[in-house]
Amino acid sequence: MPATALADLIPATHLNGDVVNIAEVSERDLVAHFTRLSHRQFSVDLGMYPLGSCTMKYNPKFCDAVANDPGLNSVHPGAPAELTQGWLELLATLEESSAPSLEWPRDAAARRGRRGELTGCC
């Protein structure tokens, strides 16, 4: 990539001519700070997440692996139906197989409670 002057990239009205005082932090302190922050993040590998619905707390890693399959996640939402027949078949099969166990009619929207949690609609 060729070097380009900042003035060629950003209009002069958006540039600040004043010196901005930025805190000086050592690399060690910076790494320690972000490491501390990373340890504050919750992970299902570290324990139970006690909140209610809409947290995706119990999604198994297997589901993540399936969702990351390029054949599944690379389909564009605006793709025409004739190019997504495999997806439509998969969704219809899942709907037919899960409706009896979730105790709702196939055409009903599960929007709250345990049904909403299972479908991710809450």
Predicted local confidence at residue 105, as pLDDT: 58
Neighbouring CB atoms inside 10 A of 85's CB total: 9
Query: Are the C-beta atoms of residues 92 and 100 closer than 8 Å to each other?
Result: no
Residue 34 has, within 13 A of its CA and on its CB side, a CA count of 6
Query: Are the C-beta atoms of residues 122 and 116 closer than 8 Å to each other?
Result: yes
The whole model's pTM is what? Answer: 0.36
pLDDT tens figures, 78-117: 889 888 898 888 888 887 777 666 665 555 555 555 555 5
Q: How far apart are CA 25 and CA 41, in angstroms?
A: 23
pLDDT tens figures, 10-25: 888 888 888 888 889 9
User: What is the residue whose two structure tokens read 């996640």?
Assistant: 73
pLDDT tens figures, 26-70: 999 999 999 998 887 766 666 665 555 444 555 666 677 777 888
Tokens for 46, please give them.
């570290």
Helix (H) or strand (E) holding 102: helix 85-102
